[in-house]
Amino acid sequence: MSRLRLAGGRVYDPAHGIDGAVRDICLDDGRIVADLPPDAPTLDVTGLVVMPGGIDIHAHIASGSTNLARRLLPEEHAADPEAAPPFAAGRSGTGGTTPSTFTTGYRYARMGYTTVFDAAVAPLMARHSHAEMQDTPILDTGFYVLMGNDDYLLAELAAGRTRWVKDYAAWLLARTGGYAIKIVDAGGVEQWKAGVKELIDLDDPCGPNGLTPRKVMLALAEAADALALPHPIHLHCNRIGQPGNSATTLRTLEALDGHRAHVTHLQFHCYGGERGKGWRSEARAIIDHINAHPSLSFDVGQVVFGPATTLSGDCPAQYLLHRAADRKWLNVDLELEGGCGIIPYAYKQSAAVAALQWAIGLELFLLAADPWRIVLTTDHPNGGLFQAYPHIIRLLTDRAFRAEALKAVNPKWLQGSALLDGLDREYTLGEICIITRAGPARLLGLAGKGHLGPGADADITVYRPQDDAAAMFAAPVHVLKGGVPVVRDGALVASVAGRRLSVAPAYDEAVVAEVRRFHERFGSVSFENFASVA
């Protein structure tokens, strides 16, 4: 079915200012076209809501660390098997907080999402991520490449040799087939490997000659800007999850001073208070700054009550959580470029910190002035699972539902939270469309996604309007990927292969010899094979 007219739907296409108008959407050969001849096949979607396919800007679905998490959690998989869908290429799998690859693709697609970015891939493991993504059906996928704890970069910066940073970043992106620069706790993971057990702050030393996380972050932000990458630095700030970290976050945002940046899972970085003396929300101070600075965007990292797995390149933060949570703990230090830490976790409504985290996420949603610069995420599977997105959408669109949910949380744990002030905003469907597809597409620089104009990829989700937005968004009536119907009435009917989304910025070839010299001295993999994905 290469040509198709979706006829009579209520179309949400915020990129073109269309907010629920009734009109036809025409598809031909995987893309949206302006019109089709009258004899083209028609799918009647009268009365239904038509949106671009969902885009997840930050999830952990296809990486070496995701796979270590899968391996760590056989008990979750056993409790959540998934049979193969009923078509020839269909594959079975398992779920839990870290589903197998085929199940990941299917579950996202059944929810109307068609594009997902893995948030953290170390260059050494890039080849692994490509293999997992090949086995993740339906979704177009890409990944962000970890930088900022790599020994080569830190050594160059400490020596004041900043001239290669741009070329080095470009070479790594091209070499790995990555999409954007990811910074996780700049300099802090290197410090963890050296034995530092606390999370370092923006201006703490993270190397010789006065090297600090601030300098590392700014060098990479400048590189991303100079390379005109479609997505700016994707920034996991220092001191994640610590009471009082909002001061670090604010200083970080101020330091960026006009550089583009996407701050990820911001919810985890908005805490006031002190360890042992109570936590409080500082969401308002953070969101006020972001609202006033158009060069900044963020995704929320909403906490959802229930099971999760914390899975992060921020090894020292994971170590601290391991000490506090007393769950099984996995840490792997990756040579010359960071590491990962994994802990199975649960957010309990009855737990003070979890309740505050839940509330802070909602505050960020409800106080954000510009829906184009905020994206719905749970930092899957860290704050909760991607399958919780429909539930979160209902919390945003349904004030009464949110009020009921708030009643179940002890207000004494929500110190400083604007939620207690009775935030009564309700997201419109158009705004939901922005924070789940149109906005992330724009923030990622994906010209062919997140909208329904001619030339766009024919990734389309059709929902039946319902009072219960969670039910509406959990089970689309139709999902088309590249024009191919893959979901009908919430069930998979076909599968297609997704595409890889990557960038290949130009760089000065001379940087390769520089990196090779370092790598041949200290690496354990032949340079020809390092981060080789071909």
Residues within the interface to another protein (CB under 8 A): 62, 64, 66-68, 70-74, 76-78, 81-84, 88-89, 91-94, 96, 98-102, 124-125, 127-128, 131-132, 135, 151, 192-195, 197, 319, 323, 328-336, 339, 342-343, 522-529, 532, 534
Q: How far is the CB of 107 from another protein (least distance, A)?
A: 13
287-304 burial: b if 16+ Cβ within 10 Å, else e:
beebeebebbbbbbbbbb
Rounded CA gap, 384 and 324, in Å? 19
Angle at 523 between CA 517 and CA 527, to 5 degrees: 60
**Do 420 and 283 form a contact (C-beta atoms < 8 A)?**
no
Q: How far is the CB of 323 from another protein (least distance, A)?
A: 8
Q: Which is nearer to another protein, 207 or 273 (CB)?
A: 207
Rounded CA gap, 238 and 202, in Å? 7
**What φ, ψ does residue 390 adopt, rounded to 5°?**
-60, -40
Q: Which is nearer to another protein, 340 or 503 (CB)?
A: 340
**Do 169 and 223 form a contact (C-beta atoms < 8 A)?**
yes
**Do 95 and 80 form a contact (C-beta atoms < 8 A)?**
yes
Q: How far is the CB of 78 from another protein (least distance, A)?
A: 6
Q: Which is nearer to another protein, 77 or 236 (CB)?
A: 77
The candidate with the shortest Cα–Cα distance to 140, out of 375, 450, 462, is 450
Tokens for 415, please give them.
């110190």
Partnered with residue 358 across adjacent β-strands are none
Counting other chains too, the contacts that 197-202 makes at CB distance below 8 Å and 24 or more residues apart are 197/316, 197/319, 197/320, 198/316, 198/320, 199/238, 199/239, 199/240, 199/242, 199/314, 199/316, 199/317, 199/320, 200/238, 200/239, 201/238, 201/239, 201/248, 202/238, 202/248, 202/251, 202/252, 202/255
Q: How far is the CB of 74 from another protein (least distance, A)?
A: 5
**Do 310 and 329 form a contact (C-beta atoms < 8 A)?**
no
Q: Which is nearer to another protein, 332 or 346 (CB)?
A: 332
Q: Which is nearer to another protein, 84 or 351 (CB)?
A: 84
Length of the chain: 534
Q: How far is the CB of 61 from another protein (least distance, A)?
A: 10
Q: How far is the CB of 34 from another protein (least distance, A)?
A: 38
Q: How far is the CB of 198 from another protein (least distance, A)?
A: 13
DSSP secondary structure string for all residues of 102-136: HHHHHHHHHTTEEEEEEEEE-GGGHHHHHHHHHTS
Q: How far is the CB of 148 from another protein (least distance, A)?
A: 17
Q: Which is nearer to another protein, 24 or 82 (CB)?
A: 82
**What φ, ψ does residue 348 adopt, rounded to 5°?**
-100, 135
Angle at 57 between CA 243 and CA 219, to 5 degrees: 70
Q: How far is the CB of 312 from another protein (least distance, A)?
A: 14
Q: Which is nearer to another protein, 24 or 135 (CB)?
A: 135
The rounded Cα 466 to chain-centroid distance in angstroms is 27
Q: How far is the CB of 443 from another protein (least distance, A)?
A: 28
Q: Which secondary structure element, helix H or strand E, spans residue 439, and what is its range?
A: helix 439-444
Q: How far is the CB of 131 from another protein (least distance, A)?
A: 7
Q: How far is the CB of 158 from another protein (least distance, A)?
A: 12
Tokens for 142, please give them.
């890409």
Q: Which is nearer to another protein, 73 or 392 (CB)?
A: 73
Q: Which is nearer to another protein, 51 or 343 (CB)?
A: 343
Rounded CA gap, 441 and 310, in Å? 26
Q: Which is nearer to another protein, 128 or 449 (CB)?
A: 128
| Pairing assessment for the beta strands 261-263 and 18-28 based on DSSP bridges | unpaired
Q: Which is nearer to another protein, 308 or 356 (CB)?
A: 308
Q: Which is nearer to another protein, 71 or 163 (CB)?
A: 71
